[in-house]
C-alpha cells in the first residue's frame, strides 16, 4: 500500500457542480481523485452540487484541487469563497479566473496587450438581428462563429455559413448565456498549448494539434467520440512552435493566470497566422483531455501532473497584517 502523503494534508477534489459542463467535470474529478489516491494523497471527492462548499472548512480539509469546469467552478466565484475560508486551491485566483471565463473580457485584455484574437461583436439576449445583419456581415465576413461568452466545451456554439443562420445561432447561444459572442471565423489548424506554473516560472508545454473527423471539434468530438486525432507535438516548424508557445504564455500572463491553464489557438490557412481563441483556467483532466497529453510528451505522467498542480495550490489575496 502506498504511504499517505502527509505533506499535502487532507485534500478535497471539487467536481460535478452545477454548470452545463457537469458531466465532463465528473469525469475529470474522478480521474484526478484516483490518481491522487494512487500517489498516497489523502484525497476525497466533493461534489459542489450535492454538498455545501463551506463544509470544506468544518470537515478539516487543508487544500483543494479544483476539477470543476464552467460557472461556479472556474469563474472566480468559487475562488472567492475559498479565499474567505483560507483554503489554498489549485489554479488561478479570483480576478484571472473571472477574466478568463468571460471570453469577451479575455479578448479585450489580449487586444489591449497587443495580442491577436479574431474580430468580434457581442449581442445581448433578445436582440433582433435583422437590422444589424448587413453591418455584421460586412464587419466579420462569412462564415462566422457564435458562442456563449461564459461557457466551455463548445456548448451552445456553432458555425454560421450563411447570413440567414445568424439569428438561430444567437438564439442557441442565448440559451446558455445573456449574450452571444460573434467572431470572425478563422479557418485553419486547431492547436492548443498548456501552461504550467506561475509568473517567471511558467512554462509552455508541447503544442497539441486537434484533427476532428467531422471537421468540427464540438462537445461530442471532445468527449464522446474516439475518431478525433491528436498530434503532440504538433507538426510545426521550430520557429512556429516557439511563436505559438510564446503567444500562449503571454496570453496566460496578460490575464494574470497561475498554476496551470491551456490556451487555444487557430493557425489560419494560407498565411499561417496564429489567433488566440480562449484561455482555460481549469482544464479538462479526462482520458480525452489535452493537458495530460501535452504533459506526457513533456515527460510528466498523469499522476505526476496532478500532484504537481496540487502542490502549487495557494491563496492569492494578501491578507492585511499589522
Cell 478535497 found at: 12
Cα–Cα distance measured from residue 104 to residue 121, given in angstroms and rounded to the nearest whole number: 9
List, by residue number, the catalytic residues.
21, 153, 223, 262, 264, 278, 280, 284
The angle formed by the CA atoms of residues 301, 98 and 71, to the nearest 5 degrees, is 75
d(CA 281, CA 115) in angstroms, rounded, equals 18
Assigned C-alpha cell, 21:
459542463
Q: What is the pLDDT along the chain (322 residues), one digit of tens a residue?
A: 456 776 899 999 999 999 888 999 999 999 999 999 999 999 999 999 999 999 999 999 999 999 999 889 999 999 999 999 999 999 999 999 999 999 999 999 999 999 999 999 999 999 999 999 999 999 999 999 999 998 765 788 999 999 999 999 999 999 999 999 999 999 999 999 999 999 999 999 999 999 987 665 455 544 455 778 999 999 999 999 999 999 999 999 999 999 999 999 999 999 999 999 999 999 999 988 999 999 999 999 999 999 999 999 999 987 665 4
Structural domains present in the chain: 6-90 (3.40.50.20), 99-116+186-309 (3.30.470.20), 120-184 (3.30.1490.20)
Does this model's pTM top 0.85? My answer is: yes
pLDDT of residue 153: 55
Strand locations in 48-187, DSSP E?
A: 63-66, 120-124, 144-147, 158-160, 179-184
Amino acid at each position: 500500500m502506498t504511504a499517505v502523503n502527509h505533506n499535502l494534508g487532507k485534500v478535497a477534489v471539487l467536481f460535478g457542480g452545477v454548470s452545463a459542463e457537469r458531466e465532463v467535470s465528473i469525469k475529470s474529478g474522478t480521474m484526478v481523485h484516483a490518481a491522487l489516491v494512487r500517489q498516497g494523497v489523502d484525497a476525497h471527492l466533493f461534489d459542489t452540487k450535492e454538498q455545501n462548499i463551506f463544509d470544506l472548512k468544518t470537515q478539516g480539509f487543508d487544500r483543494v484541487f479544483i476539477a470543476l469546469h464552467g460557472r461556479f467552478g472556474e469563474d472566480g466565484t468559487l475562488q472567492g469563497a475559498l479565499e474567505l475560508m483560507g483554503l489554498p486551491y489549485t489554479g488561478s485566483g479570483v480576478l484571472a479566473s473571472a477574466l478568463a471565463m468571460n471570453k469577451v473580457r479575455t479578448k479585450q485584455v489580449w487586444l489591449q496587450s497587443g495580442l491577436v484574437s479574431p474580430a468580434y461583436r457581442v449581442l445581448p439576449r433578445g436582440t433582433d438581428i435583422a437590422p444589424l445583419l448587413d453591418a455584421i456581415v460586412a464587419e466579420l465576413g462569412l462564415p462566422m462563429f457564435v458562442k456563449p461568452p461564459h461557457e466551455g466545451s463548445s456548448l451552445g456554439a456553432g458555425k454560421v455559413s450563411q447570413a440567414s443562420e445568424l439569428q438561430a445561432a444567437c438564439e442557441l447561444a442565448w440559451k446558455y448565456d445573456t449574450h452571444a459572442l460573434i467572431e470572425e471565423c478563422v479557418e485553419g489548424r486547431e492547436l492548443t498549448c498548456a501552461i504550467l506554473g506561475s509568473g517567471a516560472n511558467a512554462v509552455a508545454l508541447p503544442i497539441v494539434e486537434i484533427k476532428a473527423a467531422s471537421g468540427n471539434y464540438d462537445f461530442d468530438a471532445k468527449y464522446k467520440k474516439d475518431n478525433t486525432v491528436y498530434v503532440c507535438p504538433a507538426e510545426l516548424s521550430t520557429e512556429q512552435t516557439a511563436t505559438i508557445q510564446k503567444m500562449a504564455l503571454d496570453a496566460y500572463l496578460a490575464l494574470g493566470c497561475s498554476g496551470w491553464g491551456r490556451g487555444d489557438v487557430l493557425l489560419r490557412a494560407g498565411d499561417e497566422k496564429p489567433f488566440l481563441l480562449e484561455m482555460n483556467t481549469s482544464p479538462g483532466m479526462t482520458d480525452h483531455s489535452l493537458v495530460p497529453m501535452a504533459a506526457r510528451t513533456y515527460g510528466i505522467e498523469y499522476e505526476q501532473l496532478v500532484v504537481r498542480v496540487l502542490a502549487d495550490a495557494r491563496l492569492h489575496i494578501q491578507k492585511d497584517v499589522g
